[in-house]
Structure 1
C-alpha cells in the first residue's frame, strides 16, 4: 500500500509538471483582414501608417502612407474580384490560423526553455496576390504571406523561374512553421566564417535541421528538409552510395563555389550522382552527420549550436554513410 501511495504521488507530480509547462502565447495579427477592409486610398494610407513595421519589411517602403504608387496598387488589388477569390481560398484553407498558432507556440516555448533570452517576434499574416515574399523573418517580426501556401488546389499560385514544380510542391501550410523555425535557428548557429568548405555548409544545415526537429519534435522529417516521403526513404536506403560518391569526388573540403552549389543548392535532382538523387543532397548528408554526432555525444542543443568547428563535429560523429542500424 505504501508503494502504491508513493507511485501515485510520483505520477501526480509528473502530470502536474507536464501540465504546468507554460506555453508561449502566440497571436497572429490578421493584417490581411485589416488590409482588405480598407477599400479606398485614404484607408490604405491609414493602414500603411498604422502598420509601418509590416509595410517596411514586406513592401520595402519607408514612405508608408505617402507612397502613392504603393497606395494605388494596394487599392486596386483589394478591390480586384479575382484577388477576392484567392482571399476567400486563404480563409477556407487557414480558418482562424489555429494550426499555425499552435505550432508556433510549441516552437517558441521550446526555444525559450533553452534560450531564456529569446523574445518571440511579432507574427502577422498577409494576402496581396504575391506582391511581396512568401515569408519575412527577422528577430522582431515574422510576416507570413498566406496566399503562397494555399496548396495545389489554389486558383492562383505563384509563378516564375523561382517557382519550379519541385519547389512549388512545398508551398503548403504544413511547411510554414518548420521553415520559420529553421530560419530562427540561424541566430543560434555558430559558424567559422573562415571555413569555406562544403563540409562547413553541410554541418550548418545539419545543425539547423536538428534544431528544428528538437523544437518541433512531432513534425515529419519531410516537412523539415522539404523532401517527399519517397525521396527520404530512397535517399536513406542508398546513403552508402551517396557517401561513397562524396568521398571519391573529394567533396567535403571543396571550396570552389560552383562545385559546392551543385550539391548544396536547390535543384530538381543531383545529376552528378543520379536522377533519383534529390537536389541539395549535401544538406541531407549534413543532417545525417550532425544527427549522428548529436546521438553519439549528446551535447544538448545549446552546446551543439555553439560548436562552430564543422570538422570536429564530422570527425567525432563517426558517420560513414551507414544506416543507423548498421553503425
Structure 2
C-alpha cells in the first residue's frame, strides 16, 4: 500500500484545452505549492568524493528505498546490507568519465527550485484529474545513462545526467541529434509526470500490436500536454518545428501507409518497435522523424477526447484500444 503524501494546494487556474471543446478537462495549474525534491544525488556524491564511511549511515537512514532500487537497477546487488555494497557503489561512480558527468549534473542543477515549482503545478493538475492518485516523494539521482526513471512505492526519481542540454559535449559521443533534443532541462518535469502516470496506469495491451501501443503512448502525451500547455507539442516529442509541421502535413499519408501495410493490427514485434524508436522512421518516408507511433497515438487521443468529452481518469481506465479508435472518428 503506497503511503500518501498529503499536499495542501493553494491553486490558481487558467482554462486551457488544445481542442477547446472538452469541458471535462481540468484547467492547467499555474501556482500550486512547489514539490520538494529530495537531493539523493547531492548526498551520494559527497560519499563518492570523500569515501567517508560515516556518510553510509546517513544515506541508509535517509534514502533506504533509493539505495535499494539503485543497487538492484545498476549494481545488481539486492540490498545495501550486502557486504561490499558501498564499495561497489563508490567504485561505479568514481570512474573518471562518469564522475565528471556527475559533477556537471550537480553543478547545473544545484538549484532545482524552478523544477520544483513546475512539478508542483503538474502534480496538482494530476491530483485534480485523479483524486485518489497518490502523489510520490520526488528524488533526483545520477545513473550514467543507465536507469533514467526509478519508481518505487510512493517514490519517483529522475536521472538528471540525461538533461544537460543537447549541446553538452559528452552527449556528442553517445547520442544522435534527434536523441539529444530530448535531453534538455525542459524535459525533466514532463518526464517525471509521464513516469508516474505510467506507473499508476501500466500498459496492459499487446506490446507487439501497433494500435495498442499507439493508443497508450498517445494517452500519456495528451495528458502531459494538458498538464503543461506551456510546452510546445514539438518539444514534448523532441521534434524540430520543421519535423512537427511535416507530420501535420503528411498525417493522412502516414495513416494510409499504416493501413495499407497492415501494420495496425498485425502482432509483429520488430515492425511495431520501429514506430516508437527515436530513430527517423525512414521505412515510411525519407523525411519522417522518429517515434511516429506516439505522435499518431496523440492525434487519435486528442480526437477521441473531443468526440467523447471523456475525463482523464476515464481515458486512462479505458483499455479498449479499438473502441477508442472507433469513437475518435479518426480519419486524417
Quick check: TM above 0.5?
yes
1:248-273: CA deviation from partner (whole Å, max 9, x where unpaired): 2122222122222232x314211221
Q: What secondary structure is seen at the aligned counterpart in 1 of 2:257?
A: helix
Q: Which residue of the partner structure matches residue 68 of structure 1?
A: 84
Counterparts of 2:281 and 2:53 in 1: how far apart (Å)? 52
Match of 1:215 among 210, 227, 241: 227
Please report how far the alpha carbon of residue 54 of structure 1 lies from its aligned counterpart in structure 2 after TM superposition: 0.8
Counterparts of 1:200 and 1:237 in 2: how far apart (Å)? 24
Using a 3 Å threshold, how does the CA distance of structure 1 residues 156 and 41 change in structure 2: closer, same or farther? farther
Structure 1 residue runs of 5 or longer lacking an equivalent are: 1-14, 322-327
Please report how far the alpha carbon of residue 317 of structure 1 lies from its aligned counterpart in structure 2 after TM superposition: 1.3
Give the alignment of 1:127-206 within 5 angstroms.
127=142, 130=144, 132-157=146-171, 163-187=175-199, 189=201, 193=205, 197-206=209-218
Normalising to structure 2: TM-score of the pair?
Answer: 0.79
Using a 3 Å threshold, how does the CA distance of structure 1 residues 190 and 308 change in structure 2: closer, same or farther? farther
Match of 1:98 among 107, 113, 117: 113
Counterparts of 2:58 and 2:245 in 1: how far apart (Å)? 48
Structure 2 residue runs of 5 or longer lacking an equivalent are: 1-9, 15-28
Contact 1:188 1:305 in 2 (8 A): no
Cα RMSD over matched residues? 3.1
Q: Which residue of the partner structure matches residue 251 of structure 1?
A: 263
1:195-248: CA deviation from partner (whole Å, max 9, x where unpaired): 963212111111111121122222221232232322111111111211221122
Q: What secondary structure is seen at the aligned counterpart in 1 of 2:53?
A: helix
Counterparts of 1:199 and 1:275 in 2: how far apart (Å)? 23
Please report how far the alpha carbon of residue 105 of structure 1 lies from its aligned counterpart in structure 2 after TM superposition: 0.7
Equivalenced residue count is 302
Counterparts of 2:191 and 2:52 in 1: how far apart (Å)? 34
Please say which of residues 188-197 and 141-150 is displaced more in the overlay.
188-197
Are 2:273 and 1:261 aligned? yes
Please say which of residues 55-64 and 102-111 is displaced more in the overlay.
55-64
Match of 1:33 among 18, 21, 42: 42
Which structure is larger by alpha-carbon Rg, 1 or 2?
A: 1
Please report how far the alpha carbon of residue 116 of structure 1 lies from its aligned counterpart in structure 2 after TM superposition: 1.9
Counterparts of 2:268 and 2:91 in 1: how far apart (Å)? 48
Please report how far the alpha carbon of residue 155 of structure 1 lies from its aligned counterpart in structure 2 after TM superposition: 4.7
The structure where helix makes up a greater share of residues is 1
Counterparts of 1:66 and 1:16 in 2: how far apart (Å)? 45
Using a 3 Å threshold, how does the CA distance of structure 1 residues 193 and 131 change in structure 2: closer, same or farther? closer
